[in-house]
Structure 1
Amino acid sequence: MNLLLDTHTLLWWLGGDRRLGRRAAAFIAEPRNLVWVSAATAWEIVIKVALGRLDLGEPPEKCLPREIERSHFRPLPITVEHALEVAALPHHHTDPFDRLLIAQARREGMKMVTSDPAFEAYGVSILSARA
């Protein structure tokens, strides 16, 4: 199964946050599943750190690549097709990072791991991050 992590899901996983449900954590840890982290997620994290809204304890350019590799996650680049898919989405959700993640999940046939109920309006397959 191909899983695409929402930004908060990645942060919960990396931080050992108890909000990440056992079922979701088991799916992420399952070696047969391919777990993807979008470039949009890295971009969102970098912006939050720069604005002082997130503290990772060290610069994101240092810890994110290391932790993504350590977790055996795969990077998902942003393509032109992903950007064009965003334009085709209805405007149920206004967060540009989430809209790009939704577009990527739809385009690539991935299951989103998120706790954001707004994703459901887009017909994307979801695994609750709290489950």
Structure 2
Amino acid sequence: MMRVLLDTHVYIWRVSKDRRLPARIRNSIDKAQQVYVSTASIWELSIKSARGKLEPNGERAIDELEAQPFIVLPVQLKHARAVRRMPDLHRDPFDRVLVAQAITEDLEFLTVDGELSDYLADMTPA
């Protein structure tokens, strides 16, 4: 069964039908039996929104999560602990949590960020 976790940008682009969403990622989402969005993504978007640094599609993504056909993945203690074992390849704490969730939950992580892909090659599920 194909289960995927969407990176924050991928989630925004999917909800807004943005052309920047690569066809390979769009196809993976369409084929997946379960598609997850992390509460860490909504947390990140909410912080950017409060600072006035979020584009309208990001605002929409916050407000429409419950209306989307995605499964909300809460951040759990095991995810936070998994971050501790991660090499220091990427500085963004939200991205690190997303990678930890994907690894811990055995989800395919759909991202356009090449630096995050390095984590997935280096880590195995806990």
- The TM-score bracket by the shorter chain reads 0.7 to 0.9
Unpaired segments of 5 or more residues in structure 1? 126-131
Cα distance in 2, alignment partners of residues 23 and 61 from structure 1: 21
Q: Relative to 1, partners in 2 of residues 1:51 and 1:121: Cα closer, same or farther, differing over 3 Å?
A: same
Cα distance in 1, alignment partners of residues 121 and 107 from structure 2: 8
CA displacement, residues 88-125 of structure 1 (integer Å, 9 cap, x when unaligned): 10101010000000100110111111010111221259
Unpaired segments of 5 or more residues in structure 2? none
How many residues in Structure 1 have an aligned counterpart in Structure 2?
121
Q: Relative to 1, partners in 2 of residues 1:59 and 1:86: Cα closer, same or farther, differing over 3 Å?
A: same
CA shift, 1:3, in A, is 0.5
Moved over 4 A (4+): 57-62
For residue 94 of structure 1, what is the aligned residue in structure 2? 91
* RMSD of aligned Cα (Å): 2.2
Cα distance in 2, alignment partners of residues 58 and 116 from structure 1: 17
Out of 112, 115, 119, the position equivalent to 1:118 is: 115
Q: Pairwise mapping of residues 63-74 of structure 1 onto structure 2 (< 5 A)?
A: 63-66=63-66, 69-70=67-68, 72-74=69-71
Cα distance in 1, alignment partners of residues 96 and 64 from structure 2: 22
Q: Pairwise mapping of residues 98-109 of structure 1 onto structure 2 (< 5 A)?
A: 98-109=95-106
Amino acid at match of 1:22: A
Q: State the identity %.
A: 37
SS of 1:118's equivalent? helix
Q: Relative to 1, partners in 2 of residues 1:51 and 1:116: Cα closer, same or farther, differing over 3 Å?
A: same
Q: Pairwise mapping of residues 15-34 of structure 1 onto structure 2 (< 5 A)?
A: 15-30=16-31, 32-34=32-34
Question: So what's the TM-score if we normalise by structure 1?
Answer: 0.82
SS of 2:27's equivalent? helix
SS of 2:98's equivalent? helix
Cα distance in 1, alignment partners of residues 59 and 114 from structure 2: 30
Question: So what's the TM-score if we normalise by structure 2?
Answer: 0.85
